[in-house]
Structure 1
């Protein structure tokens, strides 16, 4: 290779290498420019975002309400309206006991700050540290999942803003909180907060709350009492120490833990305070009933679903579902003896009246002489047999497509783990339909049904009906052996059966309207929780409970009602402790519904004790209350029946057939029942149980002496007449029977009969479609000579039709009755006294031939 060539190659390689380096430099330069461009764009977007956010925030701030001293000091009352938009109550304008900062005891201040705003004295109205934690939580779980409100912000919300969780409201809240903190001292702001807060039980402000719950002045509060008050504002109704002492105590202990954590008290002090029971230091509640108190109590509990809303000082308007006439009547029924004779003053009753279609609560009877809704909405008791449609028969129809006729055996039976189950009457009724089992409230068929569908499907069905149950349920649920349900729970569940399988949570509030015109719709969504055939068939069975079963005394004339009774039992230990006599029971229920209204009634005593039991004389009060209230609210209204869905068919069934079979034309009507089946599961096979043709009935034979004729008549089931024919055979003077007549008429006339002769007539019924199918014969006879016109002649005994009478026995020419005759006369002249105890094979053949001709 020449030197020149090598030099040229080297120069070329060097040139290419330089070119490649230039390209790499250019590429790196372009990448840097692109990166700078992206950074610049991001920066500009951030700047624009900040500017836009700032502009938006400024707009929000400019639109914020002004600080109003009057609004800070004087709360706005809340107005409550009934279903017709008539004002029924004004809340929050009751007399308050306002305090100054000097009257706030140190222990209360420590409890409140440890729970609500531990850095209250260190921030400027908003707590940046808490805001940071809230931002992280909101990024993870969505906006509004966690708040960071200080006491200052809460005062602003309660005084000026709505509780809606929006960016605009939050910006306005923080802006106003900064202004409030700048304008007022921390002591003034804390005092505003404690004077504004609702503590439940019509206690507005902490001073009034101390008086209500402890009967003492604020300055005398002790640590457990201060901790209880500090915890109540989060949910006054939910932590009500009178209704829910256990929940109130748990909340109080949480406050004590906060106080210990933040160094307000020692561990020893916290433990000592936690060892006390709430019920040991709250004073007895004064029951002062006012119109609609029980209903308003439930309204206040539901309004707590709206977070950060102090209903007693926010100036909102609450539009409710209350029917004031129904409410007034319910209170009158419970609080007087005008309609019901109650056994004593301790006897309690709770009920709710619900709109079956909408779930709206029309009236609440919270108890006798009670100002709360407790016995109607919050109390949890064992439901007894009212649980059976919910946990047993409803799920069986839903998942197994059982018919209302489905057969089940009421017999000795046990729980899966061994203990025996008994019926309320201690008896067993054998095979029966689930309709009859439910109507008579049999426990064993209910348990068998539960065992067949299984606890999982049973629990799932009940949960969809709003029944709060454990994650796992046991077989005792099948007969209501669990705690528990309230009348409101039961009314909600049963109304779904009456509303074609659509469940609506019972509620008292339609909407909340704020002073600026904004609204919150409080009506729950309706949910389809079961097939329409399940709802209808359970309803139809429950109608039998009221028509012919254990709920007969709850029936209201002219109103289509479905319902169920229920009762519970004392355990042996309680019976012994309080000397409960045999037959004494703790709870009696009745829950029933029409297409328009659902009413659930509980009766019993508030607690176990000496003499606190329902006797047999008082066991019907629940049904009486239901009947009285249902009669009143349906008075003058046009009533309608439940609609039959297209998914069910009504089919005749031979009573007792299993599997169900259709009746044949010869099945007696009293052996046929009509039951509902899910379409496509109805019986198709016809029973042959009653294929033997029934004999004729009510045979009459008369002899007209003047006209010299015999008239033979009988009766027969009209529904069989088109399918059968009748054959009449005669025997004269005890001779053998010979065919005489056949046809479909039920009258035969014999003209010019032989004088002074004994005529016997044998009537059989023959199936036109099967000549071998012949009824048992019925025989009647008559004498053409008249010896004693007053002596009756009866049809002959078909088993011995020609037995002779004693010589000289009187006879007349009239016979009607049951086919038996004891006045028979031997054939004069030929000495033939032979018997014919039926129809011979030759007779049958001749009869058939006659029919065929």
Structure 2
């Protein structure tokens, strides 16, 4: 119903707005418009201001930096320059010398709209963002070729908004100043192509063609161009010489991109994809530079952790190398046939600082022409018994609070699934301590220990020491039956034992300083991987491996150096031995990992590939120990000693955790003293020759402490394995008092003393002989006959006394003579013949310290 008005004036008044209302509405719209304009102006000003702030400090476009890669300076541990990277492997070319197939491959892969954008491809930026969200965008990144030139020439690699805006800004500038052809020439002359085979950076497309295909760039083919274009995304991972399978997969992605964007036909794509990597990758072998083994590690660390290119970014790299130690490592690597059994025999080793994890020297391998493999860090091989402190006895002390004298039974045994396990000598020692078990490298006690600890806790302990172990481990891991570990990993793990339980990942780079003076510290953070008592007790047990006559690592011992370590050997599967004709006792890998309070060395030896005659024999298994010995002798501090923490208590040379129950305490047994001591002075040589006799069946497992004083002043104590020694520097007028004590794993004897009195002109008096002394030489089985009470010596395999038997001539897992357990008489098959004669639970394994 229409509204009725009382008059025409009322109707006009109601239908026509008042003047005041109109003014109010106009004022409101003006305020809204003004506010919008104000906000817009503020945003524009803020954007402009923000842009200028972000681009402030951006470097100028320096043409020399655009065209020439910048060398990086490498410093040793004392800050001295020892290398420059990036100045040697470069071959410059002009745009006209770049084959079309190379341009097509790189543009299709790196920047398909290169000739259309103005430096920054906005469409590509959004595409890269979307790819990061959805995944699967592997063929292209967010940066154009122009941006990559700018980034590599002027900017640090830090990933910040400011750096990215500066990159865009400089890319626009670069496009204004240079043609597309010039920019592409710059890019292809400076792009990085990994470090070849000699560790020097390969950069520039021409040098890459020479390095990986041994041909001039003008002769490059489609599949070769695709390989090089594919390397840019990750040069080291797609290096065709080191990683041919990964390189081939990446090459095929590049070919698919070229087909997608119509650079090649379907037929060309199929034909190029079918070409084998082996047929086209022919790597040239430039001469390696000084300290190249160490530089290999430096390059990897910078690229993985520093997000920079050592060959093009003009870095200053602070490293941990000790030039003298590296020189020793290089000398060992370059030894010839007088040391190594063949040219194909390989080794990889690393020397680190025990307390800091800093790498002092690297032995990367011998005659390394097989694709640039660094045998100190790249290989993964079975560790054998060298894993036992890490996965067995370390966890047992840490989690179960075992003492070093904790008793465990060495007996016929099997894995949980029923598969038998044996010791290296096919014998059993009965109830023994874990100290004895580790020193003699017994397998059955190691497995039993892991079973008591539990697989999960063993793995946890190993991972805490830097080992890359799978989620599930098996009982075979207890004796190193898995693949595998690298010398670098083992160095880091063992160093933690010598460093109070603190693990620091081995590292060669401490700091990177970029061109714009920003810095990045790469030193890893230390972490407490185990208790200090675990670290010290394992260390003390590992001392016996190298210092005790029963230890398997005696050939690595450096006299006077407080050191510890462990051997490890692995065997070939039966089918491999049959295929290549290897003998039954052929060894595949031989390890020695040793450490002192200041340095740690980890050594692997073996052959890279299975071939005829490529196995370790009895003598070559010792080379790992000799390498470790020579490195430690050259770098170890003779005055440095392992310090026992307050959390460890000692009882009869065995170690216990303070506050834990000492339920295993060794009991000493008195050994028989030596007999028929003869001491004769020779005034010509100023020496006293000393010899004595001892029960022949006990000689292999008995050592002798010979101490003496001259004129009442104590001189020193000798530790002798045998029945003769000499005392030097004695002159007429001296009075020399000599004491001889027999020692073994079950105790010590009372001392036998003799005095050589040279204070008068009379002949020195010696105890009367009980028979004529005679000498006899034993054969290879250690049997020898001497006249009367003389000594008979067997070759390396044992000693006989008089008419005694010098032993059975067997050797342990590392080629050392077998030393029978004197407490358990055995027949020729290792079966205990009189097991009730001895209470083995009271025996003490007598450690001999440095």
| TM-score of the two chains, using structure 1 as the length reference | 0.69
Alpha-carbon distance in 2 for matches of 1:406, 1:481: 25
Find 2:123's aligned residue among 129, 141, 155. Answer: 129
Q: How does 1:366-405 map to 2 (within 5 A)?
A: 366-370=364-368, 374-405=374-405
Q: How does 1:91-490 map to 2 (within 5 A)?
A: 91-94=85-88, 96-134=90-128, 148-200=142-194, 201=196, 202=200, 203-265=202-264, 273-286=272-285, 288-306=287-305, 309-337=308-336, 341-370=339-368, 374-490=374-490
CA positional deviation for 1:182: 2.2
Provide the secondary structure at the position in 2 that maps to 1:319.
strand
Alignment correspondent of 1:559: 561
Secondary structure at the counterpart of residue 350 of structure 1: strand
Q: How is 1:569-608 mapped onto 2 (pairs within 5 angstroms)?
A: 569-608=571-610
Provide the aligned length of Structure 1 versus Structure 2: 635
Computing the radius of gyration over CA atoms, which structure comes out larger, 1 or 2? 1
Q: Deviations over 1:24-64 (max 9, x none)?
A: xxxxx9xxx9x999999899677545523421311333421
Please give the per-residue CA displacement for 1:581-639, whole angstroms capped at 9, x wherever unaligned.
222212111001111100011111221111111110211110011111110112xx452
CA shift, 1:136, in A, is 6.2
Distance in 2, matches of 1:484 and 1:271, equals 38
| TM-superposed deviation, 1:266 | 5.7
DSSP-derived class of the 2:650 partner: strand
Secondary structure of 1:178's partner? helix
**Unmatched 5+ stretches in structure 1:** 1-28, 653-673, 699-853
Residue in structure 1 matched with residue 630 of structure 2 by the alignment: 628
Corresponding residue SS for 1:352: strand
Change (3 A) 1:41 1:533: farther
Q: What residue number does 1:676 align with?
A: 655
Per the alignment, residue 54 of structure 1 pairs with 48
**Which is worse superposed, 440-449 or 46-55?**
46-55
Name the CA distance, whole Å, in 2 between partners of 1:286 and 1:431: 57
Aligned to 2:734: none
Q: Flag the 1:547–1:286 CA change in 2: closer, same or farther, 3 A.
A: same
Q: Give 3-state SS (helix, strand or coil) of 2:375's partner.
A: helix
Alignment check: 8 A CA contact 2:455 2:475 kept? yes
Q: In the alignment, is the contact (CA less than 8 A) between 1:532 and 1:645 conserved in 2?
A: yes
The one-character-per-residue Cα deviations of 1:645-702 (angstroms, maximum 9, x if unpaired) are 23332234xxxxxxxxxxxxxxxxxxxxx32222222326999x99xx99xx99xxxx
TM-score normalised over the length of structure 2: 0.70
1:515 maps to what in 2? 515
Question: Larger relative contact order (C-alpha < 8 A, sep ≥ 6)?
Answer: 2
Question: Quick check: 1:126–1:178 contact (8 Å CA) kept in 2?
Answer: yes
CA contact (8 A) 1:350 1:487 kept: yes
After superposition, the CA RMSD in angstroms is 3.2
Partner residue of 2:815? none
CA contact (8 A) 1:566 1:588 kept: yes
Name the structure 1 match of 2:649: 649
Gaps of 5+ in 2: 1-23, 675-850
2:75 matched to which residue of 1?
81
Tell me how far apart the structure 2 counterparts of residues 125 and 176 of structure 1 sit (CA, whole Å). Answer: 9
Contact 1:398 1:530 in 2 (8 A): yes
- Residues 272 and 400 of structure 1: is their aligned pair in 2 closer, same or farther, counting only changes over 3 Å? farther
> Residue in 2 aligned with 1:848?
none
How far has the Cα of 1:644 moved from its partner? 1.9
Contact 1:214 1:283 in 2 (8 A): yes
* Counterparts of 1:41 and 1:628, CA distance in 2: 81
- 3-state DSSP of counterpart to 1:574: helix
SS at match of 1:294: helix
The answer (yes or no) to whether the contact 1:97–1:207 under 8 Å persists in 2 is yes
Decide whether aligned partners of structure 1 residues 302 and 254 sit closer, same or farther in structure 2, where only a CA change above 3 A counts: farther
Deviates more, 1:153-162 or 1:199-208: 199-208
**Structure 1 match to 2:710:** none
**Residues 802-848 of structure 1: CA distance to partner in whole angstroms, max 9, x if unpaired?**
xxxxxxxxxxxxxxxxxxxxxxxxxxxxxxxxxxxxxxxxxxxxxxx
Deviations 1:139-161 (Å, cap 9, x if unpaired)?
A: 999xxxx9721111110011111
Q: Check whether the contact 1:131–1:148 (CA below 8 A) recurs between aligned residues.
A: yes
Give the 3-state SS of the residue equivalent to 1:379 in structure 2: coil
CA distance, structure 2, for counterparts of residue 631 and residue 472 of structure 1: 39
Q: Does 1:506 align with 2:506?
A: yes
**3-state SS, counterpart of residue 649 of structure 2:** strand
| Equivalent residues of 1:120, 1:150 under 8 A apart | yes
SS in 2 for 1:246: helix
